[in-house]
């Protein structure tokens, strides 16, 4: 079965921007992602650290807790590199580099969203996670 992009935990650069994660050298905190499992909405709290220090730009996913299983934290130990490109109107646009390894080869695609397979502990891009794209995505993030 192939999941769609709204049926899986995801992190986007858009929501990281909204939470001002890229504005300090190192940002540590949690973010809540709402997604759908069958007909049930699940809110998952992802705990991570972001570094925008030049030469050491990364996002480090540490653990995740689902509201359907309160108090149960699943350890993640996943690092994804960050990349940034200059914007038209000044400032920088941040990208996530897919850290998933398939057939011994790192994906390294530059993407705007990373997804966490339900049974996995490593985030990957839409292609690595073999997701169908869901255009009318209604999921949302809340910055805590």
Q: Of the two residues 64 and 131, which places its CB atom closer to Zn ion in the complex?
A: 131
Task: Verify binding: residue 31, Zn ion, rule CB under 5 A.
Answer: no
Span interacting with Zn ion, options 16-24, 30-38, 78-86, 96-104, rule CB under 5 A: 96-104
Q: Mapping DSSP to helix (H, G, I), strand (E, B) and coil, where does residue 142 land?
A: strand
Asked if residue 98 binds Zn ion (CB under 5 A), the reply is yes
Contact with Zn ion (CB under 5 A) among 11, 78, 100, 131: 100
Q: In whole angstroms, how close is the CB of 114 to Zn ion at the nearest point? A: 8
CA distance 61 to 106: 18
Beta carbons within 10 angstroms of residue 76's beta carbon: 19
SS3 of residue 13 by DSSP: helix
Q: What is the DSSP string of 27-40?
A: EEEEEEEEEEETTE
Q: Which of 32, 58, 107, 120 binds Zn ion (CB under 5 A)?
A: 107
Smallest separation, CB 50 to Zn ion (Å): 19
Q: Where in the chain does DSSP place strands (E)?
A: 9-12, 26-37, 40-53, 56-66, 73-86, 92-97, 101-102, 105-106, 110-111, 113-116, 141-143
Does residue 11 bind Zn ion (CB under 5 A)? no
Binding Zn ion by CB under 5 A: which of 125, 131, 139, 141?
A: 125
Is the CB of 93 or the CB of 109 nearer to Zn ion? Answer: 109
Whether the CA torsion 52, 56, 58, 61 is positive or negative: it is negative
Residues that bind Zn ion (CB under 5 A): 98, 100, 107, 109, 124-125, 128
């Amino acid at each position: 079965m192939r999941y769609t992009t709204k049926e899986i935990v995801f992190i986007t650069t858009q929501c990281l921007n909204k939470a001002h994660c890229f504005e300090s050298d190192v940002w540590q905190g949690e973010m809540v992602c709402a997604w759908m499992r069958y007909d049930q909405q699940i809110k998952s709290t992802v705990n991570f650290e972001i570094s925008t220090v030049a030469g050491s730009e990364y996002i480090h996913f540490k653990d995740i807790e689902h509201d359907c299983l309160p108090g149960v934290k699943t350890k993640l130990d996943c690092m994804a590199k960050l990349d940034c490109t200059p914007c038209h109107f000044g400032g920088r646009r941040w990208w996530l580099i897919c850290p998933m390894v398939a057939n011994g080869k790192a994906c390294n695609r530059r993407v705007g969203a990373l997804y966490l397979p339900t049974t996995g502990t490593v985030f990957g891009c839409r292609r690595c996670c073999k997701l169908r794209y869901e255009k009318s995505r209604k999921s949302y993030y809340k910055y805590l």
